[in-house]
């Protein structure tokens, strides 16, 4: 991979952390583009998504819809197996944390450009021994939404009742499904029933 021929898309809503990412990547010779990816980029490219909270994982999911072949590196707030797994499940190929050194961070980007995943060894060990998933935690509102969906209520009605747009409602429901380690509405309802949440 020729340094300088790669484009790195940085998605981070916070200026201070975004500036650090841009500095590291441009210092390594990469071309850096800040902001959302609106179409699949041509040539060698990677997206770097700063994950400041679980809702930020939606940015990775959205990237998968716009540019499915674009490798994504998630930058997480801490070394946490559940967060790592969540980021990988929504499409990240590489994982870094905010305390990752600049050299290591650039190595993670270069690995993603080469189609490889460079993951922290402690996390890989946890995957190898199969850490149990933490118990699901749903808010009362999320439980009510799942109950209504299980009863056949349309998402559009849930959105109106909750005061959200349809798109926002789908995003909130996707977050709820993810908290149950489910990818679909049906899987989430079954899992909630299995856990005795409904």
Res. 1: pLDDT tops 50:
no
Q: pTM of the prediction? A: 0.61
Please identify, among 129, 154, 180, the residue that sits at the C-terminal boundary of a domain: 129
Q: Is residue 24 part of a domain?
A: yes
DSSP string, 146-198: HHHHHTT--HHHHHHHHT--HHHHHHHHHHHHHHTT-SSHHHHHHHHHHTT--
Q: Give the domain extent around 146.
A: 140-194
Does 124 lie in the same domain as 158? no
Same domain, 117 and 157: no
**Domain final position from 74, 107, 129:** 129
- Same domain for 116 and 163, yes or no, is no
Say if 134 falls within a structural domain.
no
φ/ψ of residue 59, rounded to 5: -60, -35
Is there a single domain that holds both residue 70 and residue 99? yes
Instruction: Label residue 8 by pLDDT band (50, 70, 90).
Output: very high
Last residue of a domain, one of 108, 129, 150: 129
Rg (C-alpha) for the chain, rounded Å, is 18
> pLDDT tens for residues 50-92?
988 777 788 888 888 888 889 999 998 877 777 788 888 888 9
- If asked whether residues 41 and 105 sit together in one domain, one would say yes
């Amino acid at each position: 991979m020729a340094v300088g021929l790669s484009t790195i898309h940085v998605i981070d809503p916070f200026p201070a952390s975004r500036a650090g990412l841009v500095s590291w990547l441009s210092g390594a010779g990469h071309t850096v583009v800040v902001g959302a990816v609106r179409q699949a980029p041509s040539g060698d490219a990677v997206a770097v998504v700063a994950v400041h909270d679980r809702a930020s994982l939606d940015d990775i999911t959205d990237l998968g819809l716009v540019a499915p072949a674009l490798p994504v590196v998630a930058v997480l707030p801490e070394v946490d197996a559940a967060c790592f797994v969540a980021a990988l499940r929504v499409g990240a190929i590489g994982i870094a944390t905010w305390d990752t050194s600049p050299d290591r961070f650039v190595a993670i980007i270069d690995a993603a450009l080469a189609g490889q995943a460079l993951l922290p060894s402690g996390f890989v060990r946890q995957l190898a021994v199969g850490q149990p998933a933490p118990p699901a935690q749903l808010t009362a509102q999320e439980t009510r939404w799942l109950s209504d969906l299980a009863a056949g209520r349309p998402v559009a009605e849930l959105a109106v009742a909750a005061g959200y747009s349809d798109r926002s409602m789908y995003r909130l429901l996707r977050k709820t499904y993810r908290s149950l380690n489910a990818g679909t509405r049906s899987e989430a309802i079954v899992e909630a029933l299995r856990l005795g949440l409904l």
